[in-house]
């Protein structure tokens, strides 16, 4: 009796395809198989098996079961759930989950093994080599060292046939963490939070806790102790620690290694494909206990996942904005529920969604109200740029320059924070007024003076800065408008020529280890002034940093999306929180043209609860998250008229639903990207509405013609 296998392929296909299972091929759900699709064989995953009796249509036959680890049932369930939640095809989520499995395998290594023959001329050296080969499988050089002989002895035994070389693929392994290695001394507040997490994880059930602590309160130590308790109870347990920025991984990996005496596995887009394969196989083979990684680590094939930690859970970097669109924090909670494991969300400035869940009792709320040891929160002052503006052509105000001079004079460090890469965010022609944009896009070109190029941070387009305006031809007419971190660094060098100054941004730090070297130099006091974007504004501990200057505190408030105030407060609270984290008092100066804005007043007063309460009241009145739900549909196409006609048809096809409001279509703020015109719909729904199902039903009613594409974004973070 034959079988039919439903096979999900890692492609943008709406469902799994059915295949005949050849006689003699034993399959189980989760197995990886080679499935024919057109003229090719495609790697896929079996999602279901059923009796093939009575089928009335011919099916293609599966080629083989791949010699690869199967996806665990919970991982497969999570993939399918994530696709439904994102109103996307399941193959898109599967593609993320198989990224490690499809990476190239490490090169095989040559191992020496004994053949069973006795040496023709047995000597003590030869005997030691044969005995060592029988005890362990080693490479020739390692075998020689283990036996205490020269490489010539091993070669002679190989030539004689007493030993032979075999090739084998190395098995990925990570050293087991020691839960009692280097356990820290916790203060009473940390110990209380640790004990609460210990009780929560001991139940073995799905629960979520918010670890809410001010910057410098020691949240990392608390969640690492929770991980230690989990590993002490169950040595087979697996722990996942999610971070929003690759720049943070090296610091956290170092802290995990120092705590447990063994380095964790590292997972993010910056690791090489062979290493990605190594981690994927170790996680799947249950040979890896702790993983530290970016949001995509959620899709790894864990066998015994018992704890998920989402550090800096508020950070918008957990939102994947292209390809398969998802919010990593929300999917972490979903994976915890599917795996029936504990989830810890850690932040000094929790998202309003997480705070609301904590206030209503859905999440446990653990608070660390003070900094660890003798450190205290920095004093925050506002610099009103209307009253004390910078000198002409400058961006640092007199009060900030004076504070920098005082800090440098005391031998302490300054962080100048500006969340804008490059030298200048806009280049225009003073002759014709043209603003230079990327080709076929509305996105401005950013000047990068280090490289002498103009770069579009949206499309990746790059060009050398021209000598003349490409539109009117006027020579030497291009001027740089506004500051980026490179321009602020230039000004700092002119003001403090003897100071040691560095820039930390994704344009100057090209890999995590290079970022770690700069962070370590800052920690050792080898940098006097660090000019940085948000890459250095969170998660780092600089003992000698006592002054933070925010160059443009109003930057995040421009643009007007619903999370603008919340994100600005979170980012600036994190940035200012870098100051005064040891025994020296810290200070922060925020340059602003709107000191009366509620965000600025809340930062100055350090009254997070009052700001959150006011923001929640506004959201509740408008039915916006966390009291309602949002989704966006972004429609794009190369032809403006065809796009307009389609979005009108799409608007008419929107399902009628109680508690659902559809706004649009409207031009997207960036209405042209890479030659494609863009329109947006925004959907608001009451909390009890299944918005994912609504968006999926809407998508099923439309058939985009030609080159028109429709992208669904459930819980949008970008409104561009």
- Token output for 561: 């999306």
Angle at 566 between CA 562 and CA 569, to 5 degrees: 145
231-241 core/surface letters (b: 16 or more CB in 10 A; e: else) = beeeeebbbbb
Closest CA to 353 of 624, 631, 621, 85: 624
278 shares its domain with 352: yes
402 within some domain: yes
Residue by residue, DSSP assigns 351-396 as: -HHHHHHHHTTSSEEEEE-S-STT--PPEEEEEETTTSPPPTT--S
Determine the Cα–Cα distance for residues 21 and 4; give it in Å rounded to an integer. Answer: 6
223 within some domain: yes
Closest CA to 344 of 233, 224, 183: 224
Element (H, E) at 268: none
- Token output for 47: 């999602």
Please, which residues have CB within 8 angstroms of residue 296's CB and are 6 or more apart in sequence? 96, 99, 267, 268, 269, 320
388 shares its domain with 362: no
532 shares its domain with 385: yes
9 shares its domain with 75: yes
32 within some domain: yes
175 within some domain: no
The DSSP letter of residue 422 is S
Angle at 382 between CA 381 and CA 383, to 5 degrees: 120
| pLDDT value, residue 372 | 65
528: left (phi over 0), alpha (psi -120 to 50) or beta: alpha
User: Which positions of the chain have pLDDT values less than 70?
Assistant: 1, 53-56, 372-375, 510, 512, 538-539, 559-560
Partners of residue 35 on adjacent β-strands: 42
358 shares its domain with 411: no
| pLDDT value, residue 523 | 87
349 shares its domain with 229: yes
Say how far residue 277 (Cα) sits from the centre of its chain. Answer: 19
Say how far residue 103 (Cα) sits from the centre of its chain. Answer: 19
CATH code for the domain in which residue 199 is found: 3.40.50.300
- Whole-number Cα distances in Å, 328 to 346, 452, 664: 14, 36, 27
Question: Nearest 5°: phi and psi at 160?
Answer: -80, -15
| Helices and strands of the chain, counted as H and E runs | 19, 31
689 within some domain: yes
| pLDDT value, residue 375 | 62
Q: Among positive and negative, which fits the CA dihedral 393, 399, 402, 408?
A: negative
What residue spans of 219-368 are helical by DSSP H?
219-233, 249-260, 273-284, 328-339, 352-359
CATH code for the domain in which residue 646 is found: 3.30.70.600
Question: Nearest 5°: phi and psi at 663?
Answer: -115, 135
Determine the Cα–Cα distance for residues 453 and 596; give it in Å rounded to an integer. Answer: 38
Instruction: Give the Cβ contact number of residue 692 at 10 Å.
Output: 20
402 shares its domain with 530: yes
Q: Which of 97, 123, 139 is the last residue of a domain?
A: 97
Element (H, E) at 65: strand 64-65
Q: Among positive and negative, which fits the CA dihedral 519, 524, 527, 528?
A: positive
Q: What is the pLDDT of residues 640-671, one digit of tens each?
A: 999 999 999 999 999 998 999 999 899 988 89
463 within some domain: no
354 shares its domain with 245: yes
3-class secondary-structure state, position 670? strand
54 shares its domain with 141: no
448 within some domain: no
180 within some domain: no
Q: Domain range spanning residue 539?
A: 379-420+483-616
Whether residue 164 contacts residue 189, with contact meaning beta carbons closer than 8 Å, is answered with no
109-133 core/surface letters (b: 16 or more CB in 10 A; e: else) = eebbbbeeeebeeeeebbebbbebb
Look at the chain and report how many structural domains it folds into.
Answer: 5
387 shares its domain with 531: yes
CATH code for the domain in which residue 49 is found: 3.40.1440.60
Three-state SS annotation for 32-50: EEEEEECCEEEEEEEEEEE
- Whole-number Cα distances in Å, 649 to 636, 646, 653: 14, 5, 6
574 shares its domain with 666: no
| pLDDT value, residue 669 | 85
544 shares its domain with 658: no
Q: Which of 122, 138, 168 is the last residue of a domain?
A: 168
Q: Which of 52, 74, 97 is the last residue of a domain?
A: 97
pTM: 0.87
Element (H, E) at 554: none
| pLDDT value, residue 55 | 62
């Amino acid at each position: 009796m034959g079988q039919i296998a439903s096979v999900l392929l890692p492609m943008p296909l709406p469902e799994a395809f059915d295949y005949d299972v050849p006689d003699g091929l034993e399959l189980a759900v989760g197995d990886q198989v080679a499935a024919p699709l057109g003229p090719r064989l495609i790697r896929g995953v079996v999602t279901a098996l059923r009796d093939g009796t009575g089928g009335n249509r011919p099916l293609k036959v599966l080629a083989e079961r791949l010699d690869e680890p199967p996806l665990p049932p919970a991982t497969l369930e999570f993939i399918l759930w994530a696709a439904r939640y994102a109103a996307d095809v399941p193959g898109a989520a599967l593609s993320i989950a198989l990224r490690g499995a499809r990476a190239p395998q490490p090169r095989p290594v040559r191992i020496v093994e004994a053949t069973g023959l006795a040496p023709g001329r047995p000597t003590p050296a030869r005997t030691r080599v044969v005995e060592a080969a029988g005890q362990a499988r080693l490479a020739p050089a390692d075998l020689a060292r283990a036996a205490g002989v020269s490489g010539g002895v091993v070669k002679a035994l190989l030539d004689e046939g007493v030993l032979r070389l075999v090739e084998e693929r190395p098995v990925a392994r990570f050293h087991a963490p020691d839960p009692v290695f280097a356990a820290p001394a916790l203060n009473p507040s940390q110990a209380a939070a640790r004990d609460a997490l210990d009780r929560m994880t001991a139940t073995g059930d799905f629960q979520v806790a918010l670890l809410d602590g001010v910057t410098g309160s020691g949240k990392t130590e608390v969640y690492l102790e929770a991980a230690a308790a989990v590993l002490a109870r169950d040595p087979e347990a697996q722990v996942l620690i999610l971070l929003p920025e690759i720049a943070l991984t090296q610091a956290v990996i170092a802290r995990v290694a120092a705590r447990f005496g063994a380095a964790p596995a590292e997972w993010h887009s910056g690791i090489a494909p062979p290493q990605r394969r190594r981690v994927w196989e170790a996680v799947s083979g249950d040979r890896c206990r702790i993983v530290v990684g970016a949001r995509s680590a959620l899709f790894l094939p864990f066998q015994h996942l018992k704890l998920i930690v989402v550090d800096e859970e508020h950070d918008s970097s957990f939102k994947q904005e292209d390809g398969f669109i998802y919010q990593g924090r929300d999917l972490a909670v979903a994976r915890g529920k599917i795996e029936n494991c504990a989830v810890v969300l850690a932040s000094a400035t929790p998202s309003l969604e997480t705070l609301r869940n904590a206030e209503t009792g859905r999440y446990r709320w653990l608070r660390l109200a003070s900094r660890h040891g003798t450190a205290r929160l920095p004093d925050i002052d506002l610099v009103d740029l209307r009253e004390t503006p910078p000198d002409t052509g400058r961006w640092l105000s007199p009060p900030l320059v004076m504070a920098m001079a005082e800090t440098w004079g005391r031998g302490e460090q300054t962080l100048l924070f500006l969340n804008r890469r490059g030298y200048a965010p806009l280049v225009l022609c003073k002759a014709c007024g043209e603003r230079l944009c990327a080709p076929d896009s509305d996105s401005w070109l950013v000047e990068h003076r280090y490289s002498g190029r103009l770069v579009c941070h949206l499309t990746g387009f790059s060009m050398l800065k021209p000598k003349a305006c490409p539109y009117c031809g006027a020579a030497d007419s291009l001027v740089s408008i506004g500051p980026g971190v490179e321009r602020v660094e230039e000004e700092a060098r002119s003001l403090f020529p003897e100071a040691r100054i560095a820039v930390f941004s994704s344009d100057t730090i090209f890999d995590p280890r290079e970022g770690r070297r700069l962070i370590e130099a800052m920690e050792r006091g080898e940098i006097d002034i660090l000019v940085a974007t948000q890459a250095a504004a969170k998660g780092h501990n600089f003992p000698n940093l006592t002054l933070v200057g925010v160059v443009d505190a109003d930057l995040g408030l421009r643009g007007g999306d619903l999370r603008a105030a919340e994100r600005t407060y979170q980012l600036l609270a994190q940035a200012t929180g870098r100051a005064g984290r040891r025994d020296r008092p810290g200070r922060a100066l925020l340059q602003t043209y709107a000191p009366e804005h509620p965000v600025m007043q809340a930062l100055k007063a350090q009254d997070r609860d009052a700001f959150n309460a006011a923001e929640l009241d506004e959201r509740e009145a408008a039915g916006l998250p966390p009291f309602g739900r949002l989704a966006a549909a972004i429609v794009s196409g190369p032809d403006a008229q065809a796009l307009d006609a389609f979005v009108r048809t799409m608007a008419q096809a929107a399902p009628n639903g109680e508690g659902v409001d559809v706004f649009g279509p409207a031009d997207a703020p960036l209405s042209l990207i890479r030659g494609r015109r863009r329109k947006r719909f925004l959907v608001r729904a009451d909390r009890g509405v299944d918005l994912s199902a609504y968006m999926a039903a809407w998508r099923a009613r439309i058939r985009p013609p030609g080159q028109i594409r429709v992208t669904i974004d459930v819980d949008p973070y970008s409104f561009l």
